Amino acid sequence: MTVKLRNAILIATILSAPSALADSISDFYKGKTIRFIIRTPPGGDYDSYSRLFARHMGRNVPGQPQMTPQNMIGGGGIVAANFMGNVGPKDGTIISIISQGLPVDQALGLNPSLKVDLRQFNWIGNIVDANQLLVTWHTSPTKTLEQAKSRVTPIGSTGAGSISVQLPAFYNNVLGTKFRIILGYAGGQAVDLAMETGEVEGRGTNPLSGYKTSKPHYLRDKLIIPLIQVGLKKEPELPDVPLLLDQAVTEEDKALVEFMSLAVAVGRPLATSPGVPPERVAALRKAFQDTLNDPEFVAEAAKTNSEIRPVSGQELGAQISRLIGAPQSVKDRMKIVLEPKSADLQDIAPEKK
């Protein structure tokens, strides 16, 4: 074989490699179903965002697999995360929006029932980087953060691994609020109903984007009153709602406020399982990006008020690794301030669960 012929074969091999890889991914996904695991019951923004992407993302994956939503509730998202990491297939046929509070949960070792290492998950992208809000219902006497420091205000939350418990506990322990955290609601929809009926006076946390998606009339009709927002900067639509980063705290507590604000910026993190072949992870990341520009997706997102402010999978993964790898001194103090005092906790009645 001549040198010229060998070079020609080598060039042809290199040029055909991306095509061959694409064909391999397409062959794998063709005729398959990707399960979209949803950590909450139907309704609410985790469910809404998951079903929105499930309707559109599949056609942007090579081979155009079907996507089927599957609600898997429990433990503030821990049940779904454990399934993703330890039980489900590791081949790129399951994806999920992981509970926002779980990176903090793992970093601090808050809940022994979390049996996965989120740094091993393959992060596809953050759907929306939106601030978390603690709100009260419009009939509650507590209408400002300052009033929440002088009055016991019962608010609804889900499981122990949920950010809906972590953030109110943080406010109580760092800012001096007096929120009574009512544990055990199945999901955000159940908490919303409890607010409407007067069973609780507010909701521990939910992003602005979540209310815009699932309960836009709450905002339009001023049925909820945001007391504080958590993120790296204020939501443009909420310039008068206090930002956690702007609160007057001690120098020692400033590192805690910054940690919590970074944790919230995780948003709605979409992932597939650990161990998925890198080329399939890359294909899912590309499908995520392509879906964001898909005209049908864009039209439905606009129609359903689904705010999309994406972050790449690479950036999201780095952010989660930074949280879990934070200095031990910060993590030790965070573990204390995210732990609700027993006097601040109350379980909902068994028949409500």
CATH superfamily, region 26-129+266-326 = Bordetella uptake gene, domain 1 (3.40.190.150)
Question: Do residues 195 and 157 lie in contact, with contact meaning Cβ atoms separated by under 8 Å?
Answer: no
pLDDT band, residue 339 (cuts 50/70/90): confident
What DSSP state is assigned to residue 73?
-
Cα(319)–Cα(325) distance, rounded to whole angstroms? 10
Cα(173)–Cα(292) distance, rounded to whole angstroms? 39
Per the model's pLDDT, the better-predicted residue between 161 and 336 turns out to be 336
The segment with the largest mean pLDDT, out of 40-49, 97-106, 270-279, is 270-279
- Residue 69 three-state SS: strand
Scanning the structure block, which residue is given the tokens 């402010």? Answer: 309
Residue at 227: amino acid letter: L
Cα(121)–Cα(324) distance, rounded to whole angstroms? 13
Cα(70)–Cα(59) distance, rounded to whole angstroms? 19
What DSSP state is assigned to residue 30?
T
Cα(105)–Cα(162) distance, rounded to whole angstroms? 8
Question: Do residues 143 and 241 lie in contact, with contact meaning Cβ atoms separated by under 8 Å?
Answer: no
- Options 3.40.50.720, 3.40.190.10, 3.40.640.10, 3.30.365.10; CATH for 132-264+331-352 is 3.40.190.10
pTM, 2 dp: 0.76
Question: Do residues 161 and 339 lie in contact, with contact meaning Cβ atoms separated by under 8 Å?
Answer: no
Average pLDDT, the chain: 90
Average pLDDT over every residue of 131-138:
96
Cα(112)–Cα(202) distance, rounded to whole angstroms? 28
* pLDDT tens, residue by residue, 213-255: 889 999 999 999 999 999 989 999 999 999 999 999 998 899 9
Provide the token pair at 39. Answer: 């950590």
Sheet with 269-272: list strands edge to edge: 66-71, 33-38, 94-97, 269-272, 122-126, 311-312
| Domain spans of the chain, in order of start | 26-129+266-326, 132-264+331-352
Query: How far lies 313's CA from each of 121, 319, 320, in Å?
Result: 11, 10, 11
132-264+331-352 matches 26-129+266-326 in CATH topology? yes
Provide the token pair at 98. Answer: 């992981």
pLDDT at position 160 is 67
pLDDT at 353 exceeding the cut of 90: no
pLDDT at position 254 is 95
pLDDT band, residue 110 (cuts 50/70/90): confident
* pLDDT tens, residue by residue, 15-25: 444 566 667 99
Exposure letters 59-98 (e unless 16+ CB within 10 A, then b): bbbbbebebebebbbbbbbbbbbbbbbeebebebbbbbbb
pLDDT at position 1 is 56
Cα(195)–Cα(201) distance, rounded to whole angstroms? 6
- Residue 38 three-state SS: strand
pLDDT at 14 exceeding the cut of 60: no
Work out the number of other CB atoms within 10 angstroms of the CB of residue 240: 6
pLDDT at position 196 is 97
Provide the token pair at 123. Answer: 């992060």
Query: How far lies 278's CA from each of 89, 92, 250, 271, in Å?
Result: 15, 10, 44, 13
